[in-house]
A and B are shown apart, each in its own frame.
Chain A
């Protein structure tokens, strides 16, 4: 397993494709460990729903592993691009894939592909609330409009009578302040 952890993405993909007895399972688990969180982030960014993003990551990884097993991926070194391509296609077709989603849910998922914890599972929300309270009013409004109300800089700016550029600057500063606050207790 340690060998897989130290290997490059292409090497891991090749190990999955080779289906070598005793190694394939570890390779698949490693591939999943590396790419499922990235697919989930992609899903969260585009679907804005944690459950759907989690489903997407599982389905994308199932397809990727199936393709590798079937030898359908010619250049294993391009595995990251391939995973992104599958993520894009599946996200685009998400609604049309509803039937398939249900079907795939019923298929076998190895324990190593079990659900991923929610994004904020390790955050101390009480501390975050205190940190949020220490932000300037504009900063607090901008981060809440960005992360909760899911407004772009232009939309938030229209609401707060700020330019798009101003919102970006305030947002960047606010996030830095929150991160600093969260790490200093």
Chain B
């Protein structure tokens, strides 16, 4: 019908439906409603369009910030060129962007025993702020934190040293590691 919806579904239900989080019975009910209701169908379309846009950004490597291992795996499975640099606490690692790279992921290793969340602070030359991530969940079993940046963004950066400090979040924060990235602006020969 072209009439307005008499029983509009909540955005939460539409989101749960799209994400595959509804049990079969509820999913069937939602689908019955969606096929009969232009309004709710249009609202789901908006959610789906937003999701499609996010997928497009990810596939193009336009992802910044702390990411999960599952996300990196998915990027690699989809054919994105993910360049990874691994750093242990106290380590200095030279890094650069290579032709064809889509995403650069810095993997910070640390002992996360008893730690649930951390704060990541990144500073550039003269302690200038470069990035900060608060309340980031970490996994003790993985023992790593992944920081992603689009290669296109990094390739435009001048050579510089980046200091990264990892601290546990909580009443008594503990420093878990300091890391140094020596970023080179010159594109290495491949």
Whether both chains belong to one complex is answered with: yes
Q: Find out whether the CB atom of B56 lies under 8 angstroms from the CB atom of A125.
A: yes
Q: Find out whether the CB atom of B50 lies under 8 angstroms from the CB atom of A84.
A: no
B132 to chain A, nearest CB (A): 10
The answer, among A119, A153, A161, for a CB contact under 8 Å with B48, is: A119
Q: List 7 A-B contacts (CB under 8 A).
A: A9-B36, A123-B49, A132-B54, A144-B67, A148-B55, A159-B69, A168-B12
The answer, among B34, B49, B59, B137, for a CB contact under 8 Å with A161, is: B137
Given contacts A9-B1, A83-B35, contact A44 B48 (CB under 8 A): yes
Given contacts A149-B70, A149-B74, A160-B137, contact A41 B41 (CB under 8 A): yes
Given contacts A45-B18, A80-B36, contact A141 B52 (CB under 8 A): no
Q: What residues of A have a CB within 8 angstroms of the CB of B58 in the complex? A: 144, 148
A176 within 8 A of B: yes
Nearest 9 interchain pairs by C-beta: A147-B51, A80-B36, A119-B52, A120-B52, A120-B53, A148-B58, A123-B53, A84-B35, A80-B35
Given contacts A41-B44, A147-B50, contact A137 B16 (CB under 8 A): no
B91 within 8 A of A: no
B47 within 8 A of A: yes
Interface of B is mostly: helix
Given contacts A128-B57, A146-B19, A152-B20, contact A172 B45 (CB under 8 A): no
B45 to chain A, nearest CB (A): 6
Contact with B along A70-110 (1 / 0, CB 8 A): 00000000001101100110000000000000000000000
Q: Find out whether the CB atom of B50 lies under 8 angstroms from the CB atom of A123.
A: yes
Q: How far is the CA of A159 from the CA of B65 in the complex (A)?
A: 16
Which residue from chain A places its CB closest to the CB of B31 in the assembled complex? A84
Q: For chain B residues 66-107, which have a beta carbon within 8 Å of chain A?
A: 66-71, 74
Q: Find out whether the CB atom of A141 lies under 8 angstroms from the CB atom of B68.
A: yes
A34 to chain B, nearest CB (A): 7
Q: Find out whether the CB atom of A160 lies under 8 angstroms from the CB atom of B38.
A: no
- The total of Cβ contacts below 8 Å across the A-B interface reads 155
B181 to chain A, nearest CB (A): 19
Q: Find out whether the CB atom of A148 lies under 8 angstroms from the CB atom of B53.
A: no
The answer, among B1, B2, B51, B133, for a CB contact under 8 Å with A146, is: B51
Given contacts A144-B54, A147-B50, A172-B12, contact A5 B65 (CB under 8 A): no
The interface of chain A, by Cβ under 8 A from chain B, is 5-9, 34-35, 37-38, 41-42, 44-45, 50, 80-81, 83-84, 87-88, 118-120, 122-123, 125, 128-129, 132-133, 136-138, 140-141, 143-155, 159-162, 164, 168, 171-172, 175-176, 178-179, 182
A103 to chain B, nearest CB (A): 26
The answer, among B19, B63, B116, for a CB contact under 8 Å with A171, is: B19
The answer, among A34, A38, A159, A175, for a CB contact under 8 Å with B70, is: A159
Which residue from chain B places its CB closest to the CB of A85 in the assembled complex? B35
Q: For chain B residues 22-50, which have a beta carbon within 8 Å of chain A?
A: 31-32, 34-36, 38, 41, 44-50
B64 within 8 A of A: yes
Q: How far is the CA of A162 from the CA of B137 in the complex (A)?
A: 8
Q: Find out whether the CB atom of B49 lies under 8 angstroms from the CB atom of A42.
A: no
Q: Find out whether the CB atom of A175 lies under 8 angstroms from the CB atom of B11.
A: yes
Q: What residues of B have a CB within 8 angstroms of the CB of A159 in the complex? A: 68-70
The answer, among A119, A140, A148, for a CB contact under 8 Å with B65, is: A140
A139 to chain B, nearest CB (A): 10
Can you name 8 extra interface pairs (CB under 8 A) apart from A87-B35, A160-B137? A45-B48, A50-B52, A81-B36, A125-B62, A141-B65, A153-B19, A168-B12, A182-B50
